[in-house]
Structure 1
Amino acid sequence: MNNKTVTIFIIFIFIILAGCISTQNYQMKGEKSQFSSDLRFAGLGNKGSPSMDEGSNVNGKTFERKVISTATLTIEVASAQAAINDITNITLETGGFISSSSISDIGNNRKNGHLTARVPQKSFYSTIEKIDALGTEKYRQVSGQDVTEEFIDLGARLDNLQKQETRLQEILKMATTVKDIIEVEHELERVRGEVESLTGRLNYLNQSVEMSTITVTVMEPAPITGDGWGISDALRDAVRGFIESVRGIIIFTGFIIPILIYLSIAILIALGIKRKILPKLKR
């Protein structure tokens, strides 16, 4: 009985030693394939971005429609400066801000103003009506850009990249060679760069959706003068016609004076002949 027990014990020891040796060989020879497998598991085997089908429904969430609203207005006002001030006040009251504003002198005591306002989406249409009421509307264009699909796609890609970043950090802790550490850190740096890029784009889309853009041009009316009725043009044509007539008269006079002189001489000669020669012939 004792011999059997000793034999079983020895066999068990050999099995344990064989297992340890196999494990060590696997770790030494299969290190590269282990990290390659880990990288593939982290989603880095294919560096392409996930498709829309893979991330269109993230975690079962339904995304509301994302629309970037913009408007362009042109209104005629009595005073460009006063209108710019009024539009600024209207924008601030809605919780918005002015991104740019300018006034220029276009001559004839007239000024034009240009202003770009950012207002909350919920106040977009009401703000347009308030601005329109400041003067006479000359032009209006309202448009909306649907970015829902891009927003969902970016969100899905960002979610996948963040998971890859977490997995890479875990792989980095397991790396034992310099080569593996450099490889993992390189991939980690790339993933983090893409995460920052997508995060910036998502923030931009969110801000553009939440804060709509209204571009306004205000212009003062042209002064009421004869120009609008064509009187100035008529006066210019009259002066031009008068000058042309005087010019014609001068030219005509230049031609007719020599002729009149010749005719006068001829008449004088004829009268002289009539008075002196004809009476002698009658005698």
Structure 2
Amino acid sequence: MRAFRSRTTYLLGTVVLTGVLLAGCGSGDSSDSAGMSAADAPAMNEAAPQKAEGGGSGTQADTQAKAPDLRVEQRDIIYRGTVTVRVENVDAAAGQAGGIAKTAGGFVSGDNRSSGSGADTATMELRIPAPKFDAAVAQLAKLGTEEQRQISTEDVTEQTIDLDARITVQQARVDSGRKLLAQAKSLNDLVMLEREVATREADLASLQAKKRNLADLTALSTITVTLLDPEADAVVEEGPPGFLSGLGAGWDALLASLRVLLTVLGALLPWLIAFGLPIWGILYAVRRYNRTRRAAHPAPAYAHQPPPAAQPPVSGPPAQQDQQP
């Protein structure tokens, strides 16, 4: 009995000691791993951003290389200006305005001059390089007494970028179509591919024409200068459309229509008198003659009497025949 108890006690002690040793090892391992993680965490956190920066540097550089430059000085802007100046001599001032345009590197694209009733005016359209737009406007304003100035701008950067992308895609389509055309083996394929290539080339030419137009407008600004002599009336800018302007336009249209109608009637009146009166007289005489003739020869009376009404049949019992015995 005592031996059994001693063995049981020995076994229990062995189990308890083994559990204590295992718990100590586990805590030591966990503490070591926790300590290692805590010690390595800063290094790993520092390495992660460096890796991210190193890995994303190429993509970020490529994105910056492909992204368009949209700074103010790199944007495509169309400048338009209108200047009204009152001068002593319109012809001399017009010559000076043309000289300003040529000195700035531009040219005169339109020149409209008029003189009458002692009032001379000139309207000139100048194409000036965009970087010298402001300087040219200032010089034109100094030709005399400036009465009006209006400057407007239009940013077409997005349109230019879109056109560039569309031109690139369309050029690739044209090249692929030409390659397929060179490899055509049958007459039907040749005709179909020629038609497709011609369509693609026409679309590409249209896009390139739009791009050239935008490039011309952005490279050369447009300035419209109006020169007035001291006796000329000032140029009045029309206000925005509204009810009163619409009413005035409708009234002017009505008066113009009445003038046209009266002009047409005045042109037709001699013809109406020359041909209309004789025709009316002939028709009147014919109608009068017909009335007189009908009055002299009245129609017979019986012709106007209505026909007799039909008598309804008399209904009654049939006649009885004598029966012989």
Q: Give the SS at the match of 1:62.
A: coil
- Write out aligned runs for 1:131-210 (5 A): 131-210=140-219
Give 1:59 shift. 7.8
Give me the whole-angstrom Cα distance separating, in 2, the residues matched to 1:156 and 1:111. Answer: 50
Following superposition, the deviation at residue 58 of structure 1 comes to 12
Amino acid at match of 1:158: I
Note the alpha carbon deviations across 1:74-131, whole angstroms, 9 max, x for none: 1111111111011011110011000011221131x22111100001001100000000
Structure 2 residue 84 is matched with structure 1 residue 74: yes
Amino acid aligned to 2:108 = I
User: Do structure 1's residue 96 and structure 2's residue 106 form an aligned pair?
Assistant: yes
Look up the match of 1:65.
75
Higher mean C-alpha displacement, 94-103 vs 173-182: 173-182
Q: Give the secondary structure class of the aligned counterpart of 2:231.
A: coil
Structure 1 portions without partners, runs of 5+: 1-56, 224-283
Does the C-alpha gap of structure 1 residues 205 and 134 become closer, same or farther in structure 2, counting only changes over 3 Å?
A: same
- 1:1-283 residue pairs with structure 2 within 5 A? 60-63=66-69, 64-107=74-117, 109-222=118-231
SS in 1 for 2:213: helix
Matched-pair contact (CA < 8 Å) for 1:69–1:142: yes
Amino acid across the alignment from 1:62: P
Partner of 1:68, secondary structure, is strand
Tell me: CA distance 1:69–1:61, structure 2 relative to 1, closer, same or farther (3 Å). same
Q: Alpha carbon RMSD of aligned pairs, Å? A: 1.8
- Give CA deviations for 1:34-83 in whole Å, capped at 9, x if unaligned: xxxxxxxxxxxxxxxxxxxxxxx998151531111000011111111111
Q: Deviations over 1:215-236 (max 9, x none)?
A: 010101129xxxxxxxxxxxxx
Stretches (4+) displaced over 6 A: none
Question: Deviation digits for residues 119-162 of structure 1, max 9, x if unmatched?
Answer: 10011000000000111111110001111111111111110010
Structure 2, unmatched stretches of 5+, are 1-62, 233-325
CA separation of 1:58/1:158 partners in 2, compared to 1, >3 Å: closer, same or farther? farther
Distance 1:96 1:193 in 2: 32
Given that 1:58 and 1:156 are in contact with CA atoms closer than 8 Å, whether structure 2 keeps it comes out as no
Instruction: Give the TM-score normalised by the residue count of structure 1.
Output: 0.56
Q: In percent, how many aligned pairs have the same letter?
A: 29
Higher relative contact order (CA 8 A, sep 6+): 1
SS of 2:160's equivalent in the other structure is helix
Aligned residues: 166
